[in-house]
Structure 1
Amino acid sequence: MPVTPQNVGRKNPRSSTHGGTPREYIDESEHGKGIEYRNDLGKYEERILGLNRELERSKAVEAEQSRIIQEKEKMIQDLTTRLSRAASQQLTQGNPNIADLSDVNRPTKLGERFGQVYDDQWSEAYEALKARGKRDDEIVVELAKIVQDIYSFMQNSVKDLLDKLASKTSEVIRNPFQTHSGEIPVIKGLDVTVSDLVKTHGHHTLEAVKKKSLDTHCAQENDPRIRGYVSILSELIWLMVIQDPPMVLKFIEKGEKMDPNIFKPYTKSGSIVVVCVWPALYLHKNGPLVGRGFALPQ
């Protein structure tokens, strides 16, 4: 600022100081710091964005790893279940002395239900026949014959089923691209597989089996007590004969001496059999006794 009479003694505002430092230097310094601050802020923001992207990628990788781990764990669980099932099947297959406790139709359970039929449905069917004026000996013979007929029917039916399955399966395996190729030899060892298949899935045929049995043994019968007797016997005996090996019903013959450990006397004591009232049940052929029968002695 030039020196004139008017401004003698005045301070140049541009040369004002702050703490001994000219104002123009302070302004320039603060401006530089602002730029530096904004630059640092931008760097921080970029860093934060970069870290967020890394975090999202890490989360995606973690989610994928978690999915893979879950899939592996499920595969391990499935394989363990299959191994356990296979081991159990290998252990119990053809070995009735080792029971599969998960099977609701295992032999011991079937034996219990079969014994209950004699207490319940047999007694109801007896009363139905008695109401028709039949004698006691006629009734027990007729009811016992129903059991025998159903047992024979189911034995033949399961044999036919096993033969058909073994034949058809062999045909499909040997000639998978032909609809019919005539008679094909059954593949060796397939009978074991087919037998296990029927045992495992034979309950799916129950309705068809019971219907066929009712049509065969109750064609002219309308009394629900008789039909109920035939129906429950058809169900249980079918489940018995599809066991591996099949369970066995023993009918004592007229004139035979009764073993009290196998047959209990019906209505009176004695040792010589007149008629088999209810068969004894065995776990399998030549196997242990599951349930005693009843016989009418002389």
Structure 2
Amino acid sequence: MGNYQSQRTAVGHSMYEVPLDSLLTYIDHELNLWRDLVDNVKREKKYDHEGRTCIDDMIRETCRKMIDYENAVSNRKRLYPLLQPRDSEYSTDKLKKEGFYKTLSPEKVKDIVIQKSDEIDELRNEAKKMSDSIHILNEELKQKIKYVDDLRREKSALLQRLSKMAGEKLTRDNPDIADLSDRNRPTKLGEMFNELYDNEWTDAFEELVASGYDEREAVDTLQMTLMKVFQFCEKKASLLVKQTETAADLLFDEFSRSALQETTKNMPAGKKALTMDPKQLAEMRGGLQREGSSMEDLQMQRKWKPKIKPDGKQTYIQTKIQPRTINVEDKLKQMRKGLAESLVPSVQKAYIKTYWDNECLRAIKPFIKRCIFIAWMMVVQTPPMCFDRELQEGATFDAARYRQYTSSGHIVHFLVWPALLLYRDGPVVCKGVAQGKKK
């Protein structure tokens, strides 16, 4: 320790002659200058170029002092000039004089607070307006989306409607295009017509032959039965169309009459409600009246009976058949095509009730019922289906329309079973059967 003190004395005014407390005071002074500068910059928020310049200058000054201090220590120079306390150019007082920051009065602070409060209120109002605008835009967007969805649904419905109308227009009066949803479409009727010949026709033919008819008579009887049934269905189907509108009028008139009668009950005495003329109601009521049977119908009915009875007597007896009323009024309330199949039992019942009696052969009845079903479904098609009626005995055999019966040949001997056509003069749906001959 003594040597250390002697060295300090020998150096004279060297750095070692500076008391440590003085050195610490100097360092503390420099640190205070930095603190003042940093505090002033933060307080006034001088984060711009001016504040940055003050910091940069302070750093440069500090670096210069450290370099000078290092050189002085290395060269044993006097340190007193370096350690003289100085007023910092960045002190609070100097910065106040230079206008680095200004002290605000309470009134000024109050004005600033009020101003900032107003600005905040304005910003809040703008934010609220923006929020309201966003809400309005969202509602408009929802409405637009809903409108677009409605348009899409409407478009889909219109496209379906257009497709349906196009399909109906395409198939209306166009039998070449089949409605696959219709189980009684022409192609199916052709299959039924072919099965009728293979099954019911065969059973009826065998029983006719067994009852005394020869082969040609049995064939002609069944063919004539088919044609008469077809004419019956054709006539009644046409009449059904005419009566449909009348039946609908009757339905609404009956409803109106019931409503008027109900109203009349509650009317004061002496007053009378308007009602329909009884004659008009009588004209509207009434079903399909069967017209008088022709001689051909009576002759056809006789052919359904055995030609020879067990006692050997002939059965050609003139039978008087009283006209009977066929009541199908309830079946005429809807369109013919829609209720065609449901009307078949009534048509069958009406036909059998009119032309059938207990002496007729039992095997003929299933044949007649099946003929009625097929013929009825034929005449309600649009356009109606029909049979080929142009084939004449002695004509050239047309293999495209007919197949051979029991003998083949290029000439038609007689017709066994007519060909089924899609419409008059139209294509063949089901081939007929004819007997051929060589010459």
Question: Shorter-chain-normalised TM-score: which range?
Answer: 0.5 to 0.7
Cα distance, 1:200 vs structure 2:
2.2
Say which is worse superposed, 282-291 or 157-166, in terms of deviation.
157-166
Cα distance, 1:278 vs structure 2:
0.4
Partner residue of 1:232 out of 370, 392, 403: 370
Find out whether 1:265 has 2:404 as its counterpart: yes
RMSD: 3.4
Partner Cα distance (1:129, 1:291) in 2? 25
Find out whether 1:278 has 2:278 as its counterpart: no
Partner residue of 1:219 out of 346, 350, 357: 357
Partner Cα distance (1:81, 1:213) in 2? 43
- Which residue number corresponds to residue 96 of structure 1? 175
- Which residue number corresponds to residue 292 of structure 1? 431
Partner Cα distance (1:204, 1:82) in 2? 28
Cα distance, 1:297 vs structure 2:
3.1
Structure with bigger gyration radius: 2
Partner residue of 2:224 out of 142, 145, 149: 145
Q: Is residue 254–residue 276 contact of structure 1 (8 Å, CA) maintained in 2?
A: yes
SS at match of 2:336: helix
Mark the CA change 1:133 to 1:78 in structure 2 (over 3 Å): closer, same or farther: farther
Q: Is residue 277–residue 294 contact of structure 1 (8 Å, CA) maintained in 2?
A: yes
Partner Cα distance (1:86, 1:109) in 2? 25
Mark the CA change 1:125 to 1:79 in structure 2 (over 3 Å): closer, same or farther: farther
- Equivalent positions of 1:157-236 (< 5 A) are 157-166=236-245, 180=280, 197-236=335-374
Matched letter for residue 227 of structure 2:
Q
- Which residue number corresponds to residue 32 of structure 1? none
Partner Cα distance (1:84, 1:157) in 2? 34
Q: Is residue 141–residue 275 contact of structure 1 (8 Å, CA) maintained in 2?
A: no
Matched letter for residue 263 of structure 1:
Y
Partner Cα distance (1:221, 1:93) in 2? 45
Identity across matched positions, percent: 32
Partner Cα distance (2:417, 2:403) in 1? 9
- Which residue number corresponds to residue 135 of structure 1? 214
Mark the CA change 1:79 to 1:203 in structure 2 (over 3 Å): closer, same or farther: farther
- The two structures have a TM-score, normalised by structure 1, of 0.62
Q: Is residue 266–residue 295 contact of structure 1 (8 Å, CA) maintained in 2?
A: yes
Q: Is residue 199–residue 244 contact of structure 1 (8 Å, CA) maintained in 2?
A: no
Partner Cα distance (1:201, 1:83) in 2? 26
Partner Cα distance (1:82, 1:212) in 2? 40
SS at match of 1:199: coil
Mark the CA change 1:212 to 1:295 in structure 2 (over 3 Å): closer, same or farther: same
- Which residue number corresponds to residue 256 of structure 1? 395
Q: Give the length in aligned residue pairs.
A: 214
Partner Cα distance (2:157, 2:355) in 1? 45
Q: Is residue 400–residue 431 contact of structure 2 (8 Å, CA) maintained in 1?
A: yes
- Which residue number corresponds to residue 384 of structure 2? 246
- Which residue number corresponds to residue 193 of structure 2? 114
Cα distance, 1:99 vs structure 2:
1.0
Mark the CA change 1:78 to 1:117 in structure 2 (over 3 Å): closer, same or farther: farther
Mark the CA change 1:152 to 1:253 in structure 2 (over 3 Å): closer, same or farther: farther
SS at match of 1:165: helix
- Which residue number corresponds to residue 312 of structure 2? none
Matched letter for residue 411 of structure 2:
I
Matched letter for residue 265 of structure 1:
Q
Mark the CA change 1:266 to 1:97 in structure 2 (over 3 Å): closer, same or farther: same
- Write the deviation string for residues 50-109 of structure 1: whole angstroms up to 9, x where unpaired: xxxxxxxxxxxxxxxxxxxxxx9xx98999887765554333221111111111111110
Mark the CA change 1:144 to 1:204 in structure 2 (over 3 Å): closer, same or farther: same
- The two structures have a TM-score, normalised by structure 2, of 0.43
More RCO (CA 8 Å, sep 6+): 1
Matched letter for residue 361 of structure 2:
D
- Equivalent positions of 1:8-27 (< 5 A) are none
Matched letter for residue 226 of structure 1:
I
Mark the CA change 1:213 to 1:257 in structure 2 (over 3 Å): closer, same or farther: farther
